[in-house]
A = this chain, B = another copy of it.
Amino acid sequence: MSVFQAPSLESLVSELTKLPGVGKKSAMRIAFHLLRSPREEVDSLAAYLVDVKEKIDLCTVCGNYTETEPCELCRDPRRDGRVICVVEQPSDVFLIESTGEFRGRYHVLHGALSPIEGIRPESLRIGELVARLQDGEVQEVILATNPTVEGDATAFYIGETIKERKVSVSRIARGIPMGGALEFSDQLTLARALKGRRGLE
């Protein structure tokens, strides 16, 4: 017999530890919290989980999560269709949207190139991006993949693929994070920050 005295509790805890950022201790806290909660609250959480998988699909244009086709960002006439920001994950769209600084459209690749993990260009939504440049409306592509080996390789690959097109291609800036200190920056970031220096505005 386990220390839990209840197999269903043990199963729930082990299921919860599969979630990102949830260790054994947090899983137990969550499970005991749910046991104390009214039945309706737990049922409603379960229903929301099922709901999200049922209702949400990928937008066929940008690849972001959406409940409508195409998604609200692709449909919104107030957004600038001449600029596309390319990101690795749908969560990146959310992050950029929450800055309120970008009014163009997005393209979600759903990953980054990684020969080790077998992620090749065909596995990503690069063909779809090229297709979106076809009609000549898009004038600028911002490559906002992560500043990692994979993200850089992906940005480079996309840059090479679309360099024949009449679009300006840029890469988001790398440097010292806002509020960060030189003291706590690694050499690579510091080198990048020096290289990417800009005149005072």
Contact = CB atoms under 8 A, between A and B. Distances in A.
Query: In the assembly, how many copies of this chain are there?
Result: 2
Contacts of A65: 5-6, 9, 35
Interface in A61-89: 64-67, 71-73, 89
A55 B8 CA distance: 7
A8 B50 CA distance: 10
A53 B47 CA distance: 14
Given A1-B72, A34-B52, A35-B90, 7 more contacts: A12-B52, A21-B29, A22-B30, A29-B91, A32-B89, A35-B56, A43-B50
Interface of A: 1, 3-9, 11-12, 15-16, 18-22, 26, 28-35, 39, 41-56, 64-67, 71-73, 89-91, 93-94, 97-98
16 contacts: A3-B98, A4-B94, A5-B65, A5-B71, A5-B93, A8-B51, A8-B52, A8-B55, A12-B48, A12-B51, A15-B44, A15-B45, A15-B48, A20-B26, A29-B91, A42-B49
